[in-house]
């Protein structure tokens, strides 16, 4: 058996071919030590650095093509524009009260509540397993319908209670801290032989 130490092995240097032509459009930059040209090698290193850039909210890019820089620049520009819009502040209007035609109108809101409760609860039977879903559904529908009335600069709060109708007494009360000149509420109830529902909508004016 013959053994050779590492010092006996001939040293080989990686061969690097050079091109006298300045046209590097057909040369693909690769890792150091492989056949490439000077400008292409610099471009390859730039592509590798760009491929490691990860913009917030984006995954890593593995493409090393010529469009890598352009794609990252576009992504970063979109992110900057998104954050700029989020941080945009509107000037105060200094309006301390709503316009006359934009005040919270109780009779319109009450009509909406009555229509929604009657339509969605008329044939409903009380089931404890589905009462929570029914409550959320009524809340979302009433809130969407009231927002369609376009009470500008009003915070809309909807509260719905659903229970089993068993000939029992039921009382509900609420207390709020608001401006009685502009803030108001509307309420309506519905009941059949199996279920009852009470819905209240609060309209609070805010700047």
Do residues 115 and 152 lie in contact, with contact meaning Cβ atoms separated by under 8 Å? no
Do residues 76 and 82 lie in contact, with contact meaning Cβ atoms separated by under 8 Å? no
120, two tokens: 């969605």
Where residue 38 falls among pLDDT bands split at 50, 70, 90? low
Least-confidence region, from 3-17, 93-107, 113-127, 140-154: 3-17
Do residues 149 and 108 lie in contact, with contact meaning Cβ atoms separated by under 8 Å? yes
Where residue 54 falls among pLDDT bands split at 50, 70, 90? very low
Residue 176 has a pLDDT of: 86
Do residues 201 and 189 lie in contact, with contact meaning Cβ atoms separated by under 8 Å? no
- Judging by beta carbons within 10 Å of its beta carbon (0-12, 13-18, 19+), is residue 142 exposed, middle or buried? buried
C-alpha–C-alpha distance, residues 198 and 162, integer Å: 7
Q: Using one digit for the tens of pLDDT, what is the confidence trace for 70-103?
A: 555 666 677 677 666 656 666 777 778 888 888 9
Residue 128 has a pLDDT of: 92
Here the contacts of 128-134 (C-beta below 8 Å, separation 24 or greater) are: 128/164, 131/162, 131/163, 134/162
59 in helix, strand or coil? Answer: coil
Q: Which residue has the higher pLDDT, 161 or 94?
A: 161
pLDDT over 50 at 16, yes or no: no
pTM value? 0.56
C-alpha–C-alpha distance, residues 53 and 42, integer Å: 17
Matching residue, tokens 């009509």: 111
Mean pLDDT over 137-165 rounds to 94
């Amino acid at each position: 058996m013959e053994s050779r130490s590492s010092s006996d092995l001939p040293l080989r240097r990686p061969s690097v071919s050079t091109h006298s032509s300045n046209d590097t459009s057909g040369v693909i930059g690769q890792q150091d030590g492989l056949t490439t040209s000077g400008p292409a090698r610099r471009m390859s290193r730039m592509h590798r650095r760009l491929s490691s850039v990860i913009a917030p909210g984006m995954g890593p890019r593995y493409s090393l093509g010529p469009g890598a820089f352009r794609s990252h620049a576009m992504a970063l520009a979109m992110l900057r524009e998104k954050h700029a819009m989020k941080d945009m502040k509107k000037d105060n209007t200094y309006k301390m009260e709503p316009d006359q035609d934009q005040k919270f109108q109780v009779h319109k809101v009450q009509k909406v509540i009555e229509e929604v409760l009657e339509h969605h609860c008329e044939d409903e039977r009380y089931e404890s397993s589905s009462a929570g879903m029914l409550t959320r559904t009524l809340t979302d529908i009433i809130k969407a319908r009231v927002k369609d009335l376009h009470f500008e600069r009003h915070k809309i709060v909807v509260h719905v209670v659903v229970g089993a109708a068993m000939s029992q007494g039921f009382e509900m009360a609420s207390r709020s801290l608001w401006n009685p000149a502009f803030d108001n509420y509307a309420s309506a109830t519905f009941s059949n032989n199996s279920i009852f529902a009470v819905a209240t909508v609060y309209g609070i004016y805010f700047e």
